[in-house]
A and B are shown apart, each in its own frame.
Chain A
């Protein structure tokens, strides 16, 4: 690992003031530290923000919304009973990610900033436009089974690996930030960027800008009785999703009054298609309806390599997550969170 300066600023403004090009903010470190070990990232300065005061709270807002500090650990958020009751699919997504030790270290803000798990990005000896603009894409034509089927181009076919971000996208979370130019709110849909012409810019954050919190509205909590996060993976636990889906419904008199659907593992950001959600409004929940909605959600999908299977699989998991949401949120966190095997895994 390269030598670097390490500092632990006392406040958010000190942290931002300390930032300079080539610096990196360090939260739980579960992603950044590994990338520094391989040399994929070589910050000259590491600004440890993990103990900044005031960012580790889960608060109820006067308008009925919820505000989660950027430094709240994944295990703390998933284990908060009030939060899990209001946002069960977020809790389930968090609990289904990584392992217990990593959930203890990983933070909310760090999860949003999680880098792609594209192996060509992680490997400094492979070309990657994300790591370095204009470097080329080593993944194209390579081992692409985990790569994108939506929103990709020849510059970059990577996906966003986060579980958490899928339900956050579905629930229209808002990201509160502070940067050299002050504070602002970023809509979740705008937070992660598709590669476009600037694949090296993965998020809407400006240089030095820091995530302070994520806000969820009271309406986002209104689907708490009918929401579900579901994830397909290559082993029962401790694996990234091949594809995943977060579905939340509001039902009244047997009809869908609000539908939210986000799909993970298919693009550089959680994938939402308004038309797919609109299709379900006013309809009674029904398997066929969910299949049609899922088909619309994947309408634009094209393989970026040996990953065409994801299109079919994403349609299927989207439809299933909607069906499970319609059937009702589980009364307690399944023993195997976000798994189709859920409770029945070891019986």
Chain B
């Protein structure tokens, strides 16, 4: 009955093998087993978005994914997006434009925003507001979050144009 399973995850480019009970949720495996604490638990019911990670190229809420479901998947968390020494354009934009207050929702916001801009590199304000609707900020810094995402989009587009 409910044997532990051997699970393999690629998290931020590193292969992680562990034994997990099927009921273990991805967010707790990341936080409590692998000590990857950038993604946070804000609601555990997939409503707040603080636990957002990228799984096989798509934003998902890791509080609603069993680690067993993620077996074999590639996971990117905020830690894999950039580091203090080498900020991603979005991270820098959030810092620069104060797209954060308490910072608890921020890793999920930025992780979500990376995918939003991949899917839609030139979003309108409405696109950002709607696309980020699954990430709650209680403080609430929505205005500067939108400003940050739009600024990053502009910068990324300009960089892309320059490269072409």
Does any Cβ of B come within 8 Å of A100's Cβ? yes
Does any Cβ of A come within 8 Å of B58's Cβ? yes
Cβ–Cβ < 8 Å partners of B106 in chain A: none
Prevailing SS type, chain A contact patch:
mixed
Query: Is A346's CB under 8 angstroms from B125's CB?
Result: yes
A-B interface, 7 closest residue pairs, ranked by CB to CB distance from nearest: A99-B134, A6-B22, A335-B126, A3-B2, A237-B133, A104-B58, A1-B23
Minimum distance in angstroms from B162 CB to a CB of chain A: 29
Query: Known contacts being A26-B69, A100-B134, is A46 close to B64, with CB within 8 Å?
Result: no
How many pairs of residues, A versus B, come closer than 8 Å at their CB atoms?
A: 100
A–B complex contacts, Cβ < 8 Å, 11 sampled: A5-B3, A29-B64, A29-B65, A29-B66, A36-B23, A48-B69, A100-B134, A102-B134, A104-B58, A105-B65, A237-B129
Cβ–Cβ < 8 Å partners of B23 in chain A: 1-4, 36
Cβ–Cβ < 8 Å partners of A75 in chain B: 58
Given A101-B52, A238-B47, 10 more A-B residue pairs with CB atoms under 8 Å apart are A5-B2, A5-B22, A8-B68, A29-B69, A37-B44, A48-B69, A73-B58, A75-B58, A99-B133, A238-B134
- Please report the C-alpha to C-alpha distance between residue A215 and residue B117 in the assembled complex, in whole angstroms: 33
- Residue positions of A touching B, CB distance < 8 A: 1-6, 8, 26, 29-30, 33-34, 36-37, 46, 48, 50, 73, 75, 98-102, 104-105, 236-238, 335-337, 343, 345-346
- Please report the C-alpha to C-alpha distance between residue A4 and residue B24 in the assembled complex, in whole angstroms: 11
> Please, how many residues of chain B have a CB less than 8 angstroms from a CB on the other chain?
38
Does any Cβ of A come within 8 Å of B148's Cβ? no
Query: Is B131's CB under 8 angstroms from A100's CB?
Result: yes
Query: Is A336's CB under 8 angstroms from B46's CB?
Result: no
Minimum distance in angstroms from A40 CB to a CB of chain B: 12
Minimum distance in angstroms from B15 CB to a CB of chain A: 19
Best-buried of B3, B64, B125 by chain A (most CB within 10 Å): B64
Query: Known contacts being A4-B2, A5-B22, is A105 close to B64, with CB within 8 Å?
Result: yes
Interface residues of B in 99-133 (CB under 8 A from A): 112, 115-116, 124-127, 129-133
Proximity bits, B23-60, A CB within 8 Å = 1, else 0: 10100000000000000000011110100100000111
